[in-house]
Amino acid sequence: MTPVETLNKEYETIVKFLREQSQPSLVSDVDRYFKKLFVLSSASYFEHLIQEILVEFISKETNNNLKAVSFFKKKAIGMQYHTYFNWGEKGDLDKPGKNANTFFSLFGDEFKKEVEAEINTDKELELSVKAFLEIGHIRNILIHSNFAAYNLDNKTANEIFELYKKGFQFINYLKTKFQQNT
């Protein structure tokens, strides 16, 4: 079970208890706060996993050359994640990024074209890319707005968790893709 799945179980337990206690306004409050927590937790977890995938890829490609791995960790992987993707239009929840081509192009045109073709022929994968980008997009809006006061009305906590599950499929795809290209 992933950390985000654990968080979802906790959310479900709290909501179930509050419903049993006939506390609909507290259920609403829990939903309001947990959806923000799901966004941040999901985005953070995705960042962690993608960085792990890249470190593993670089390690294999350089035959575990510690100098090269260290360089890539410090200059290309650490603190650069936000630049890997076109997350969407700032401040507009309804306009997340459309694709992950910015990321794929970092590995060359041939890789980008190969992955683009795979995504375009697999609707489930295409939806997972969009869910992944939407999580990152919402995260950016929350972080760069007044987080505590920001009202995330367009999604419920359950909808955010569903985005996480779809987006996680993209992470699994990336892991497989980078393992086979080593």
What is the overall mean pLDDT for the chain? Answer: 93
- If one counts the domains in the chain, the total is 1
Q: Cβ-count burial of 62 within 10 angstroms (0-12 exposed, 13-18 middle, 19+ buried)?
A: middle
3-state SS track over the chain: CCHHHHHHHHHHHHHHHHHHCCCHHHHHHHHHHHHHHHHHHHHHHHHHHHHHHHHHHHHHHCCCCHHHHHHHHHHHHCCCHHHCCCCECCCCCCCECCCCHHHHHCCCHHHHHHHHHHHHCCHHHHHHHHHHHHHHHHHHHHHCCCCCCCCCCCCCHHHHHHHHHHHHHHHHHHHHHHHHCC
**With 60 as the cut, is the pLDDT of residue 68 above it?**
yes
Please state, in angstroms and rounded to a whole number, the distance separating the CA atoms of residues 82 and 134.
Answer: 14
| % of the chain exceeding 90 in pLDDT | 85
**With 70 as the cut, is the pLDDT of residue 153 above it?**
yes
The DSSP bridge partners found for residue 96 are: 88
What pTM did the predictor assign?
0.93
pLDDT of residue 143: 92
- The more confident residue out of 48 and 151 is 48
Query: CB neighbours (10 Å) of residue 15?
Result: 18
Question: What's the distance, CA 66 to chain centroid?
Answer: 28
Write the CB contacts of 157 (distance below 8 Å, at least 6 apart in sequence): 11, 30, 31, 34, 35, 38
**With 60 as the cut, is the pLDDT of residue 169 above it?**
yes
pLDDT tens string 89-146:
988 888 999 999 999 999 999 999 999 999 999 999 999 999 999 999 999 999 998 8
Instruction: Determine phi and psi for 88, rounding to 5 degrees.
Output: 140, -175
**With 80 as the cut, is the pLDDT of residue 147 above it?**
yes
pLDDT of residue 181: 57
Domain boundaries, position 80 = 3-180
pLDDT tens string 78-103:
888 999 999 999 888 889 999 999 99
pLDDT of residue 148: 84
pLDDT of residue 175: 96
